[in-house]
Structure 1
Amino acid sequence: MVKEKGRKLVAQNKKARHDYHIDDTWEAGMVLMGTEVKSLRAGRASLVDGFAEIDDHEVWLHGVHIPEYTQGTWTNHSARRKRKLLLNRAEIDKLERKVGDKGYTIVPLSIYFNDGRAKVEIALARGKKSWDKRHSLAERQATRETQQAIGRRLKGMD
């Protein structure tokens, strides 16, 4: 059997980048059951309500929806069970110190396969206020308009 190479994206949490200021990111492995891996390989997952918490010096992923595998039998998994994340002790300690600060949380940004192994990208994040969201939308709109104007200028349409 040929070993997989490269990175294959399964699910992405675009809303997290809108709702949070992302301070730092980590790549973590996940402890999964066989039917969960098969469901992920089919490209089925949702990170919308996902978050991670540290319990007894272990990082657990909650609220991530990996639907049941359709060809699975009685060995199938529950869709929203909590899953253990695999990180180094130093990374867990750093996360634990930061989450102790007020306003910080751990959110999953994406689930992907890296060389055939399921990984999740988690981020240390602070919640945005409504004016921060409006400000970032206005910034994105302004950069889009300037890029369009530059493009029109280069094409000689202006």
Structure 2
Amino acid sequence: MPRERGQKVVATNRRARHDYTIEDTYEAGLVLTGTEVKSLREGRASLVDGYAFVDGGEAWLDAVHIPEYLDGTWNNHAPRRKRKLLLHKAQIVKIENKVKQGGYTIVPLQIYFSDGRAKVEIAVAKGKREYDKRQALRERQDNREAERAMSSRRHLGE
């Protein structure tokens, strides 16, 4: 069987970009069981409540929901178990120092397959306040309206 090439996105966390200001992003490998990989290959995962943390010099991903593999047997996995992240030691130290500063958290942005291997994109992020969220929405809306006005202007000129 030939190896997969390229990237296949399984799940994205769209709320993360709305609720947090993203500072740094990292690509991390995931330590998974066989049934978890099979479930991910079917495109089944949810990052909604997921978060990551550093404990004892190791990075962990928690509360990410990977449903049980439908054709699995008695050795199926727990859907919301703690999963180890594979990062370089220097990256873990850098992330840990940022989180210890305070106000920062580690959120998963997406799970995907890169050349057949399961990866997760994590971000060191700072939580947005309610007024920041409203301001970001307003800016996006204003930009959309400006684009519409400019495109309609272009079409009238033709």
Give the TM interval when normalised to the shorter protein.
over 0.9
User: After the TM superposition, which residues 124-139 of structure 1 pair with which residues of structure 2 at under 5 Å, given as runs?
Assistant: 124-139=124-139
Counterpart code for 2:102: K
- Number of aligned residues: 158
Determine whether 1:29 maps to 2:29.
Answer: yes
Gaps of 5+ in 1: none
Looking at structure 1, the residues matched to 112 and 83 of structure 2 have their Cα atoms a distance apart, in angstroms, of 15
Letter of the 1:26 partner, please give it.
Answer: Y
Offset, 1:155: 1.1
Shift, 1:132, TM fit: 0.3
Identical counterparts, % of pairs: 63
Give the letter aligned to residue 26 of structure 2: W
2:5 is matched with which residue?
Answer: 5
CA offset digits 1:29-56 (Å, max 9, x no partner): 0000000000000000000000001000
| Displacement after TM superposition at 1:150 (Å) | 1.3
Between the aligned partners of 2:33 and 2:100, the Cα distance in structure 1 is 31
Q: Structure 1: how far apart are the matches of 2:151 and 2:115?
A: 38
Match of 1:155 in 2: 155
Report the Cα distance in structure 2 between the residues aligned to 1:45 and 1:141, rounded to whole angstroms.
30
Cα displacement (A) at 1:145: 0.6
Q: TM-score under structure 2 normalisation?
A: 0.98
Q: What's the counterpart of residue 56 of structure 2?
A: 56
SS for the counterpart of 2:15 is helix
* Residue 149 of structure 1: how far off its partner (Å): 1.0
- Report the Cα offset of residue 2 of structure 1: 1.2
Q: CA deviation at 1:71?
A: 0.1
Flag structure 2 segments of 5+ consecutive residues without an equivalent: none
Counterpart residue identity of residue 76, structure 1: N
Partner residue, 1:99: 99
Matched, 1:140 2:135: no
Q: Deviations over 1:16-74 (max 9, x none)?
A: 00000000000000000000000000000000000001000000000000000000001
Deviating above 3 A after TM superposition, structure 1's stretches of 4 or more consecutive aligned residues are none
Task: Report the Cα distance in structure 2 between the residues aligned to 1:38 and 1:145, rounded to whole angstroms.
Answer: 44
RMSD: 1.1
Decide which moves more: 142-151 or 64-73.
Answer: 142-151
TM-score of the aligned structures, taking structure 1 as reference length? 0.98
| Separation in structure 2 between the aligned mates of residue 21 and residue 71 of structure 1, nearest angstrom | 39
Match of 2:110 in 1: 110
